[in-house]
Homo-oligomer: A and B are copies of this chain.
Amino acid sequence: MLPDQKLLRIPGPTPIPPSVKQAMSRPMIGHRSQEASELIQSIRPGLGPLFGTKEEVMIVTGSGTSGLETAVVNAAAPDDEVLVIVTGAFGDRFAKICEAYDLKTHRMDVEWGKAARPEQVEQYLKSHPDIRVVFATFCETSTGVLNPIGEIGKVVQHSSDALFVVDGVSAIGGVEANMDDWGVDIFVTGSQKALMLPAGLALIAVSERAWKKIESNPQHRFYLDLKKYKEKIEGNSTPFTPALSLLFGLRQVLELFEEEGLKQVFNRHKLMMNMTREAFRALQLPLFTSDQDASPTVTAVQPDRFSAEEFRQVIRKEFGLSVAGGQQDLKGQIFRVGHMGYSSPADVLQTISLVEIGLKTIGARFDFGQGVAAAQQVYTNWREQ
């Protein structure tokens, strides 16, 4: 509608804050310069708290998937038996990577839209004592489910000697994580979600236990060999040329987190989730996940009386408002609203007000303002706490 205005409300990539854009447009520097070294040094201490770990976090230049592959080739030795907990398209991706390396891959498929249950994982591990790595997804972006990684981690620790590897791509930076307490051995995220950056960086936190295996793991790997990254980052450097403009941006992102306070960042995401869910509920649109399984970063809706695709097309064309559709089997069945990263309660209100107009346009019946009012009430209650 307004040229130059894009309302990007997909579950990543997400909008970039102005100060981060500005930071990223600093003049380029040499990646072996003193300035680059200082840049990396300034970033390092801010990364651990995002994962809830005291360990060092590795920075790989690549998409989120490069981070997942890094986890696989470092955590799993050739011919390892592994378990992948698949709750959606990104669990499926973990499994496909494992299969590409000819690992003995067990899939524990969970109905899409539901979270994995720790008991189920426990049972699986007990009946498959040779599993060496367990892979799980924190926020399953394709369904808006947040898996109970803390509880699953406990179960993995108690029922096996397996390493526990978690995809935190659409959660880290928006949802509290406690890697060390939860017993996560490798925790991966990408830059383009709650971290408010363009895609291009994979961040990988690694436990002491995982390092032991990685050191002696004979799996073929070169660019994605975590040993190289560890050796270099301890000297404030990288093994290969890093995406420096993204590192400039990441430093500013960490400053924004510090300014707001991480606790408040996580609370803001929960608030946006609650506002979004109550709004859709008030509009009588079926939510795809239960309150218990819902992620603070993305909400999936499964409309029963209209086409999700027609709706998405209307709001994109009429208001420049982008929400995501369904993936794989859910294509055409759901739409997904992102509320993570550089996103505020004010943005949620704007999204809902436009969603309402879009719904009316395709014939839904309700009173204007109903969804907005529900979200306003959630926001107000939260502020009064």
Contact = CB atoms under 8 A, between A and B. Distances in A.
A343 B1 CA distance: 10
Interface stretch (A31-39, A301-309, A368-376): A368-376
Given A19-B4, A259-B3, A357 B369 contact: no
Contacts of A350: 346-347, 349-350, 353
**Copies per complex?**
2
Q: Which of A4, A18, A361 has the most CB of B within 10 A?
A: A4
Interface in A351-365: 353-354, 356-357, 360-361
Nearest to A258: B3
A212 interface: no
A368 B357 contact: no
A354 to B, nearest CB: 6
A367 B370 CA distance: 10
Q: Which of A25, A342, A360, A376 has the most CB of B within 10 A?
A: A376
A49 interface: no
B367 A379 contact: no
Contacts of A369: 368-370, 372-373, 376
Give the bracket for the number of chain A residues in contact with chain B.
Answer: 35 or more
A19 to B, nearest CB: 5
A383 B362 CA distance: 13
A292 interface: no
A3 B357 contact: no
A114 interface: no
Given A357-B380, A368-B377, A346 B1 contact: yes
Interface in A323-357: 342-347, 349-350, 353-354, 356-357
Contact of A353 (B268, B343, B376): B376
A108 interface: no
Contacts of A357: 376, 379-380
Q: Which of A1, A7, A18 has the most CB of B within 10 A?
A: A1
Interface string A1-34: 1111101000000000111100001000000000
Top 7 nearest A-B pairs (CB, nearest first) are: A369-B369, A369-B373, A368-B373, A350-B350, A349-B353, A2-B344, A4-B17
